[in-house]
Every structure is written in C-alpha cells, then in structure tokens.
A and B are shown apart, each in its own frame.
Chain A
Amino acid sequence: MFRFTRILFALILLWATVFAAHAAPLRMATTTSTQNSGLLDLLLPAFQKKSGIEVHVIAVGTGKALKMGRDGDVDVVMVHAESAEKKFVEEGYGVDRIQFMYNDFVLVGPKSDPAGIKGEKSVTDALAAINKQPIKFVSRGDDSGTHKKERSLWAAADIQPAGSWYIEAGQGMGKVLQMASELDAYTLTDRGTWLAYKDKLDMALLNAGDVKLSNPYGIIAVDPKRHADTNYADAKQLIDWIGSQEAQQLIKDYRLHGEPLFIPLLLN
C-alpha cells in the first residue's frame, strides 16, 4: 500500500514537472471589454496556428493592464485609451505601438428615453439634455478607458458632472449596465459590451454615431530594455500579425450577435 502511494506521488510530481517545463507562453494584458467582445477567441487561435505561440490573456481594467506592462508582469498590452497609451510609450515602458482597429461608444438608457436624446446629432447635446432632466447617469468611475472617454465628453459638453444624479459606480462595464438598467439611468458603454448584455437589460441604444464616440484600440509590446526577461520576440510577432492583412480581414468579418463590431484601421 505504501509502495503504491509512493509510486503515485512520484507520478504526480513527474506530471507536474512536465507541465512546468512547457514553453513560456506570451502573456497579454487586455481590458475586460476586449475579452468580452469575443474577438480574441477568433484572433488568438488563428495566431497560434500560424506561429505556434500560445497567448495567455489576462483581462483587467485599462489602468491595471498598463500597470502590469509597466511592472513587466506581461509581455504585451492591448487597450483602448489613446492618451494613456501614448504616455506609456513616451515614458519608455512600451515599444512598437500600433493602432489596429476601432469600435465606438454608445449612449444607452431607459427605453422611454425621458431626456429625449434619441434625436440629438452630437453626443455633447445629448449629455446636456440628460443633465437638464432629473434623471440618473451611471458612470464607470474606475479610471478605465471608457471612464476617461466619458469624462472627456462631459468636459466637451462644458458640464461638471456631480450630485446625486451622477452615480460613480467603480465597477466593470457589464455591472454598470446592470446598475443603469435597475436604476432607470443613462450610461455610456462600448458597443461590444452593449451587444453582449442588451438581451438581459431593460434598456435601449439611444445615441451613437458622433465622431467623438470613436474608440481606437492599440497594441504595445513591453520594452525589453526596461524588463530584460520579457518575451519581446513573440510580442513583436503578435503585433506584426495583428497588423497583417490576414488578421485585419478577420477583424472586419467578425460579427457579435449578427452585427459587425470592429472596423480595421490597417486593411488595404
């Protein structure tokens, strides 16, 4: 019996070592909204087939994704926060940044649209209309890419959002949509998360299309000069592939709930 246990233990140890010896995968930090869109489930297997490189995706908020890049905890970062990305590169943490696609943000709210934002052409007018009504607006409040976009839109509309109508939730996009639905409030969301959640919500898409609502995505390799042990070679390969015509076509053809979601930026 003891003999058997010992052999079993040896086998388990052996098995564990075999797994540990597996080739180092490429670690990529991205935002939860990118992962929720489902696009990576299409792109990454295609990339692995082509290059043999396995990509481990860690989905967190934009701020944390960039921090993981700064700390050298990941090899490559895929986010959508233009100014934060530029800062990341300027401060010498990232190299080889490309912008490879975009989608857009949309304003969603109660189906009855009490603020009447449906007809507004510009998003700033829509926000001003919400501000005029005694109606709630749920903000991400978590310093994410979406939150930064929302703050810049309020600033563009010359409104200082504050008060009990302005709810700073400090949670992810899916949670904020649920909260807005429960509280009969408006909110700003990326189209991908909206499409993924809309069937579960008592809400409608009310305003979209303003050029200010564009949401470009960037991918950046962590600078190997800053963190020597980073897997730069594979990161570079992934970035080159994402910019390739093959990947760009995949992005263009991607559909979520039957609707196109992303527009490639590098397709010829």
Chain B
Amino acid sequence: METLSAATYQAVYLLFTGDPALWTIIGISFSVSLRAIVYATPLALLTAFALAYLRFPGRRLLVSIFNTALSIPAVVVGLTLYILLSKAGPLGEWRLLFTQEAMIMGQFCLCFPLLVAMSHAALQSSDRRAWETALTLGASPLRAFLTLLHENRFGLVGAIVAGFGRIIAEVGSSMMLGGNILNYTRNIPTAIALETSKGSFAEGIALGLVLLVMALVLNILLGQMQGKGEVIQ
C-alpha cells in the first residue's frame, strides 16, 4: 500500500515536471467547469433577483423547488440528460452524447439550482433600499441591477464559489455524459474513478491533491475579488 506521503510527492513531481497527460486532464476539468459556471451564473443571478425582488404567484413554491433541486444526485442529472441525448432519445439528432458540450450541460444543471438558492438567500437578506435608491436616482433597471449585485458581492461570489466547487469535483454526470474519453472528456474526477478502478491509488490521490490545490488557488483569487469588490462589474 502506497503511503499518502509518497502519493503527495508523486503528485508534486508530476505537476512540476509538467506531465502532459496530467495537465491535459486538469485543462479539460477547468475548461468544462468554467464554461458551465459562466453560462449558468448570469441566468441564475437574474432568477435569484426575480425570486427575491419581484412578487408573483408561485414564488415561494419556486424557491422551494430550487432548494429541493440542491439534493438531486449528480448521477440522476446525468441519467436524465443521457436519456435525452441518446441516439434513441428526443435530442439524439444533436449527437452530443460523449462530448464536452454534454458534460457542460450536466454541470450547468447541477450548479444552477445551487447558484439560484444561494444568490436568492443573499439578495433576500439584502437592503432593498440599494435597488430603490438607484432607481430613484435615475439609473436604468440594468444599472440598478448591477449596483445591487455589487452591493451583495460577498454572498454572490460565495454562491459562485460553492457552485464551482460542486461541479469541478463531480463525477457522476461527467462520467455518464462525457464517457471519460482520454484527451477529450476525461476530467479530474473521472480520472480518479478510473485510477481507483485500476488499483493505482497513488495516481488517484495525486489527482485529488491537484484538485484541492487548484480549488484553493481559485478560492484565494475569488476571495481577493470579493475583498476589492470588482467581480461583477
């Protein structure tokens, strides 16, 4: 049994020697998850704003639905999209199964409810006067919306970080929709699953450490943005 320290050493070694196979996997992981979060964030912020600031019938029900959607297992999301995208499924014509686009769709569905629920919580508890003042001062609704986001950047960036954390580490839907294809849809979590099934625990741990370090770096960067408040505008 390889020790954790040996695995750590190997991970560091692989990272710093620029092992191309490892960096390809890391690149795919981040490219897919970043695209998913970039697509999901604007839509989620608008939804959260509507839920927090507008009054319409079924609003509370919608909030409950988004909160419930947080507990949908990733494999269920993966399976549902798989059935839709399969050759025999209604969207089979698109030929998207086992592509990065399919993975992005899966991760989008996974992070969207989380983004909405957390942003909604942040906006709900915010001071309504920011929005009203901006409007009174003659700002356009879009400008007022951006001001509101800026005012609540702490909670909102927190939501994005949590959403990103959920999808970058997610294995179930990526495995089903991407197919774990080498140099194309193999990301860090599916690679870890593969290494584990091969019995190469050291490589699995190494990839896990990479994921942790990358997440740490990203969170520090986002934390900086939170502090300076230049994330949304």
Which of A's residues lie within 8 Å of B, judged by CB? 60-61, 63-68, 71, 141-144, 167-172, 175, 179, 181-183, 202
Cα distance, A142 to B87, chains bound together (Å): 25
> Which of B97, B183, B196, B201 has a CB less than 8 Å from the CB of A182?
B97
Contact A169 B180 (CB under 8 A): yes
- Given the interface pairs A181-B87, A182-B87, A183-B98, the reply to whether A170 lies near B200 with Cβ below 8 Å is no
Find the B residue at minimum CB distance from A71. Answer: B1
Contact B87 A63 (CB under 8 A): no
Q: Is B190 an interface residue (CB 8 A)?
A: yes
Cα distance, A142 to B175, chains bound together (Å): 14
Residues of A within 8 A of B197 (CB): 60-61, 63-64, 142, 172
Residues of A within 8 A of B190 (CB): 170
Residues of B within 8 A of A60 (CB): 197, 199
30 contacts between A and B (CB under 8 A): A60-B199, A61-B197, A63-B198, A63-B199, A64-B196, A64-B197, A64-B198, A64-B199, A65-B199, A66-B199, A71-B1, A141-B182, A142-B194, A142-B197, A143-B198, A144-B198, A167-B181, A169-B180, A170-B181, A170-B182, A170-B186, A170-B190, A170-B191, A170-B194, A171-B194, A172-B197, A182-B86, A182-B87, A182-B97, A202-B87
B23 CB → nearest A CB, Å? 17
Contact A68 B182 (CB under 8 A): no
Q: Contacts A141-B182, A175-B179, A202-B87 given; 7 further ones with Cβ under 8 A? A: A61-B198, A63-B200, A64-B196, A167-B179, A170-B194, A171-B180, A182-B87
Contact B181 A169 (CB under 8 A): yes
Find the A residue at minimum CB distance from B182. Answer: A168
Residues of A within 8 A of B97 (CB): 182
Residues of B within 8 A of A143 (CB): 198
Most buried by B among A168, A172, A175: A168
Residues of B within 8 A of A179 (CB): 98, 179
Residues of A within 8 A of B198 (CB): 61, 63-64, 142-144
Residues of B within 8 A of A167 (CB): 179, 181-182
Most buried by B among A66, A142, A168, A182: A182
Main secondary structure of the interface of B (DSSP, over half): loop
Cα distance, A181 to B199, chains bound together (Å): 28
A67 CB → nearest B CB, Å? 3
Cα distance, A213 to B17, chains bound together (Å): 40
- Given the interface pairs A182-B87, A182-B97, the reply to whether A171 lies near B175 with Cβ below 8 Å is yes
Cα distance, A142 to B1, chains bound together (Å): 20
Find the B residue at minimum CB distance from A176. Answer: B179
A178 CB → nearest B CB, Å? 9
Residues of B within 8 A of A65 (CB): 199
Cα distance, A69 to B199, chains bound together (Å): 11
Find the A residue at minimum CB distance from B86. Answer: A182
Cα distance, A66 to B200, chains bound together (Å): 11
B175 CB → nearest A CB, Å? 7
Contact A61 B179 (CB under 8 A): no
Contact B98 A182 (CB under 8 A): yes
B6 CB → nearest A CB, Å? 15
B19 CB → nearest A CB, Å? 17
Residues of B within 8 A of A172 (CB): 197
B100 CB → nearest A CB, Å? 14
> Which of B88, B179, B199 has a CB less than 8 Å from the CB of A171?
B179
Find the A residue at minimum CB distance from B180. Answer: A170
Interface string of B72-92 (1 = CB under 8 A from A): 000000000000001110000
A81 CB → nearest B CB, Å? 12
Find the B residue at minimum CB distance from A73. Answer: B1
Find the A residue at minimum CB distance from B194. Answer: A170
Contact A68 B199 (CB under 8 A): yes
Interface string of B43-86 (1 = CB under 8 A from A): 00000000000000000000000000000000000000000001
B150 CB → nearest A CB, Å? 44
Find the B residue at minimum CB distance from A168. Answer: B182
Lowest 4 A-B CB distances belong to which pairs? A67-B199, A168-B182, A64-B199, A63-B198
Find the B residue at minimum CB distance from A200. Answer: B88
Find the B residue at minimum CB distance from A164. Answer: B184
- Given the interface pairs A142-B194, A182-B87, the reply to whether A168 lies near B199 with Cβ below 8 Å is no
